[in-house]
Structure 1
Amino acid sequence: MKKQVIESFNQLSVAYENTVDHESPYNTHYERPAMMLELEKNLENYQILDAGCAAGWYTDALLKRGAAVTAIDISLSMVEAAKRRVGNKANILCHDLEETLPFQNETFHIIISSLTLHYIKDWDSVFTEFKRVLKPNGILLFSVHHPFSDYTIFKSENYFSKELLSDLWTKAGKDIEVVFYRRPLLEIIQSTVNHFTLSSLIEPQPIPELKNINPKAYLTLSREPRFLMIKAVKNNG
C-alpha cells in the first residue's frame, strides 16, 4: 500500500505542479478556500507544519500570510516540486507521516494536512505525533475524502467498515491508479477526539466564482459533499 502511494504520487507530481493549481475546481474553488478560511489572515510569528505538502500550494499560501513553514511529504518528487515552488523560504523534507516526526516537542502552532490522511490506515500513531509536536492550544486542521461520498461513488456494501479503495486518475494523458482508505464518520471523529478537542466539522460549499467557470462542478459540489474538514485543538491534559 505505502509503496503504491509513493509511486502514484511520484507520477502525479508533474500534474500537481503544473495543472492542479489551475484546472481542478475541487481543489481551487472548493477544498482550498474552505481550509484557508479557517486560518488567520496574518500568520506572522506562527510556526506551521504542512503535513503532506504535495507540490507545495499550501506551503506557498501559508508563507504569503507570513508564517514560518515546515513541509513534509512521502513522495520525493512532490518534495522536489514544492522546493521549486517556494525555494528556500520553507524547510521541506521527504518524510513518512507514519514514522516519528523529526521535530522537537511543542514546535508548531498549527498543523495543516490537506487530503492526506485517507492514504494512512491507522491514524492513532500519526495523531500521537501531531499532538507531541504541537504547542499547547495548538491547532490541527485537516481535510479528507467525505466518507459518504466515497461510500456512494464506490458502491460500498458496508458504510461502517474501513476499506481500501482504488481509483483511476487520468492526468496529462496517463492513467494512474490511486489507492486510499474509506472510513466511517464515527471513526474519523473518534480518532480525532482521542487526541484533540474537536473545534469544527466543516462540509464545504464551492465558492460562487465556480458557478461561471464550471457550472457542472458547481452544481455537483453544491449538492453533494466530496471532502470533509476537521479543526481540532490540542488537549493539554
Structure 2
Amino acid sequence: MRADHYDSFAESYAKSNESNLFNAYYARPAMIELAGDVRGRRVLDAGCGSGPLTEALRAKGALVTGFDSSTAMLELARQRLGEDVDLQVADLSQPLPYADGTFDDVVCSLVLHYLKDWTAPLSELRRVLKPGGRLLLAVNHPRILEASDPSADYFSVTQYSDEYSFADGQNAVLTFWHRPLHAMADAFTEAGFRIAVISEPPFSPDTPRELLPPDLGERTAFICFLFFVLDAH
C-alpha cells in the first residue's frame, strides 16, 4: 500500500485503533504478551503507525525506536510519544536507517501482509537484529482469504481488498497479499530466522461483550491474525 494512501485516513485509523476489537483487544495485547519482559531491551517497532504498541512497550521498560512509511501516521506517533523517542520515516521495502545488530527485538504488527515480496523486508529486519534477537510478527491469518473470496486458491500468493468504515464515517479500501502458511515459513527460514512460536491467541478477557461478533457464543477465540516469534540465528 502506498504511504500517501494511508495518510488520507491516518487520523480515522488511529482513533479506531485505540478501542476497536481487532487492534485494542486482540492484536496489541497478543503482541505485548508475546514480547514478555522487555525491560532494558532495545526494541524497534517496524511500521509503528500512530504508536500505541510502541507506547505500551515503553511502559514495560523497553528502549523503543519506531518507523513508518506514512508521514501522517508518524506525526501522530510523535504527538503520542514525545520528542525523546527516535521516530523516522522509512519504508520496509527499502534499506532501513539503522546499523547492523542494533536491536534486541523487532515488533512488526499487521504490516507484512501489505507486501507481495517478503524477501527484502525480512532480510532487513534480520540485519538490524542482534544475533539471538527476536522478530515478533502479526499478519492476517491465511484462512482470511476464504472470507473474501471462497473460490480463491489458498496455495497461491494472492492480492485481495476489503473496505473498512471507521467510527467517524470515513471509509477506506485496504489491499493485502495472502500467502499460505508454508510460504510464510519458507520466507522466515530463507531470511535467517527460526520459528520459536506460532500463536492463535484468544481475544483479551476484558473485551467489551458488545464488540464481539454476536454468533461467537462461548468461544474465546476467532480467526483473524496469526502471530509468530522468530529467533535470529
The TM-score, its normalising length taken from structure 1, stands at 0.91
In structure 2, the residue corresponding to 1:169 is in which secondary structure? strand
Instruction: State the partner residue of 2:9.
Output: 12
Aligned partners of 1:149 and 1:71: how far apart in 2? 28
In structure 2, the residue corresponding to 1:32 is in which secondary structure? helix
For residues 57-136 of structure 1, what are the structure 2 equivalents within 5 Å?
Answer: 57-136=52-131
The 3 A distance-change label for structure 1 pair 113 and 218 is: farther
Instruction: State the partner residue of 2:205.
Output: 208
The answer (yes or no) to whether the contact 2:114–2:176 under 8 Å persists in 1 is: yes
The answer (yes or no) to whether the contact 2:148–2:160 under 8 Å persists in 1 is: no
Aligned partners of 1:218 and 1:35: how far apart in 2? 26
1:200-224 deviations in whole A, cap 9, x for unaligned? 0001211222263434269288453
In structure 2, the residue corresponding to 1:19 is in which secondary structure? helix
The answer (yes or no) to whether the contact 2:44–2:65 under 8 Å persists in 1 is: yes
Aligned partners of 2:4 and 2:132: how far apart in 1? 36
Instruction: State the partner residue of 1:188.
Output: 184
In structure 2, the residue corresponding to 1:125 is in which secondary structure? helix
Q: How large is the Cα RMSD of the aligned pairs?
A: 1.8
The answer (yes or no) to whether the contact 1:211–1:218 under 8 Å persists in 2 is: no
Aligned partners of 1:59 and 1:228: how far apart in 2? 20
Aligned partners of 2:68 and 2:56: how far apart in 1? 17
Q: What runs of 5+ residues in structure 2 fail to find an aligned partner? A: none
Q: Where in structure 1 do 4 or more consecutive aligned residues deviate above 3 Å?
A: 220-224
- Aligned-residue identity in percent: 31
CA drift at 1:227: 0.3
CA drift at 1:65: 1.1
Q: Of Structure 1 and Structure 2, which has the larger fraction of its residues in helix? A: 1
Letter in 1 for 2:174: V
Aligned length: 230
Instruction: State the partner residue of 1:38.
Output: 34
The answer (yes or no) to whether the contact 2:135–2:229 under 8 Å persists in 1 is: yes
Are 2:223 and 1:225 aligned?
yes
Are 2:46 and 1:51 aligned?
yes
The answer (yes or no) to whether the contact 1:46–1:67 under 8 Å persists in 2 is: yes
1:153-199 deviations in whole A, cap 9, x for unaligned? 33242110111111111122122111111111111111112220110
The TM-score, its normalising length taken from structure 2, stands at 0.92
In structure 1, the residue corresponding to 2:213 is in which secondary structure? helix
The 3 A distance-change label for structure 1 pair 205 and 158 is: same
Aligned partners of 2:129 and 2:32: how far apart in 1? 19
The answer (yes or no) to whether the contact 2:162–2:174 under 8 Å persists in 1 is: yes
Aligned partners of 1:155 and 1:73: how far apart in 2? 33
Are 2:152 and 1:154 aligned?
no
The answer (yes or no) to whether the contact 2:74–2:88 under 8 Å persists in 1 is: yes
Aligned partners of 2:152 and 2:35: how far apart in 1? 37
